[in-house]
Structure 1
């Protein structure tokens, strides 16, 4: 059982019980479910270890780790140069994607799923605020108002979605909603709305299909006005994660998910936990949980990065 408020204690290690101590983690909603799973697995061989894990957005995660509030920040966007200058050390641990979302009861849902939207049309919706009604995008759509939902918190999903259009989160236009769960719920409650979410807040992990009242918006990659068979991978989680893994789904909004630690605030415990989540066993079940595992080359690169930082610290 994970502890909700684990006090900070000095770490120790013995061969029988593994590590004793605590690890505090906060940040991206996208990485939160994975962090919980990995913590539970790690505790199987380190039963006296305590975890304090919270989700509050990527912005909070990076701020918390840089101010020594937590040991690990969960970040779902690229790090900014000033964050690296302050000592942030990013270790990629998985991949996922941000996808456009819409209510399944939208009056034009059938046409949207067969037609899709181009990158430029999505840019005009989320960045330029060009369209006020759906039929301004396509005359076949209904004469109803568009309600655009974006994130109100500093979020990796929003930053990645904006980067798809060559912009920053602050450039997105729409009604601000806090958190991935909140934005997904807002879409489910409004048939006229459009938004974006991380994969795990759109798909049901048991059925691998989209959750009730929300669907993924397909992107018309070749801009021919329809979703061709090779672009039609949004109905099932397995086909979408395969598209992310094979770079068919564009990056951004596909992205790396990252553990951020302080380059000068490491410990044997933190290094061991990160090595643990990069092993084959822990990476192998990411797909069944809606994430994309890292390839061997990337894992080697991330471990080398961690090992190089050890030489600077010890």
Structure 2
């Protein structure tokens, strides 16, 4: 009987939002979104000093895992939820999985500032990341081996590139896996033959490649990403295990407000409205 009651208490505890249990709203997941989530949290707490927000990264997959095991209120993700994740969340007590698009981004491929290559097609990027293209001279660059940087498989950006650039195929085994977009940018900034990818907001100290489509080279600019013209534009999401209310709803409403979307623009992302 004690064991049964303990199990029942654990289930009921998971059904209660963390904010209601601890007086703190927790936000976890996408490394792409960490900078933005932290800025939103800082601004929101200035306007609402009685609310405390904790924002941490770890990757989109980590955010979904935290939602499933009840250790975060909001899961940040740079990719849509997978069917398996949605199914797991849907089996939890009182679950009503909620998806909120909070900003737009463009997955950008980075090269060293001195790399003469300005644009690549999606097929060329696929060739590089599958290991079929190994030298920059094959795509109009210098005669030098391509050093490939990638993200870990818990990253939403990793999943996005695998699905939308590699057509579901696996990354070349020689790709160097790094723990966050900032680490990818830092590596490419130091390696003149490197290539990496991540969110547009992180593209500092390196060169962003345009995507060639026919005769046109499409830059990851604000206009092209907001309009969807840039081929690798995407939405960024908040996910919740129930419909938001109280502090959770107030925070999401702020993120979607004119002030919140202006913050997204300042940080380097793009508004959804």
TM-based fold match above 0.5: yes
CA contact (8 A) 1:91 1:259 kept: yes
Structure with bigger helix share is: 2
State the Cα distance separating 1:105 from its structure 2 match.
Answer: 2.5
Q: Indicate yes or no: 2:269 matched with 1:291.
A: yes
Give runs of aligned pairs for residues 71-82 of structure 1, distance below 5 A: 71-82=73-84
Aligned-partner Cα distance in 2 for 1:269–1:118:
44
Task: Say whether 1:200 aligns with 2:201.
Answer: yes
Contact 2:30 2:156 in 1 (8 A): yes
Q: Who is 2:209 aligned against?
A: 217
Return the alpha-carbon distance in structure 2 between the equivalents of residues 197 and 9 of structure 1: 31
Task: Determine whether 1:277 maps to 2:255.
Answer: yes
Residue in structure 1 matched with residue 154 of structure 2 by the alignment: 154
> Is the 8 Å Cα contact of residues 153 and 178 (structure 1) preserved in structure 2?
no
CA distance in 2, matches of 1:153, 1:81: 17
Q: SS of the residue aligned with 1:91?
A: strand
Instruction: Report the counterpart of residue 298 of structure 1 in structure 2.
Output: none
1:15 matched residue in structure 2: none
Indicate the residue corresponding to 2:133 in structure 1: 131
Q: Distance in 2 between matches of 1:86 and 1:285?
A: 33
Is the Cα contact below 8 Å between 2:28 and 2:74 reproduced in 1? yes
2:124 alignment partner, SS class: helix
* Cα distance per residue 1:106-154 (max 9 Å; x no partner): 3xx1xx12xx21111111111x31122222334xx32211111111241
Instruction: Give the structure-1-normalised TM-score.
Output: 0.73
CA distance in 2, matches of 1:254, 1:9: 32
Which 10-residue stretch deviates more, 56-65 or 129-138? 129-138
Please report the TM-score for the alignment, with normalisation by the length of structure 2: 0.83
Q: CA deviation at 1:292?
A: 1.1
Shift of 1:178: 1.4
Aligned to 2:240, which of 237, 240, 261? 261
Unaligned 5+ residue runs, structure 2? Answer: 1-17, 90-96
Q: Distance in 1 between matches of 2:105 and 2:222?
A: 7
- Tell me if the contact between 1:21 and 1:48 (Cα under 8 Å) persists in the aligned partners: no
Match of 2:94 in 1: none
Distance (whole Å) between structure 1 residues aligned to residue 83 and residue 104 of structure 2: 21
**Which stretches in structure 1 are left out of the alignment for 5+ residues?**
1-7, 12-19, 203-210, 235-239, 296-314
Deviation of 1:70 after TM superposition, in Å, equals 1.0
The separation in 2 between residues aligned to 1:166 and 1:191, in whole angstroms, is: 24
Give the drift of 1:244: 0.3
> Could you list the per-position Cα deviations for residues 1-44 of structure 1 after superposition, in whole angstroms to 9, with x for gaps in the alignment?
xxxxxxx6747xxxxxxxx9211111111211111121122223
Instruction: Point out which structure has higher relative CO (alpha carbons under 8 A, 6+ apart).
Output: 2
Runs of 4+ in 1 over 6 A off after TM superposition: none
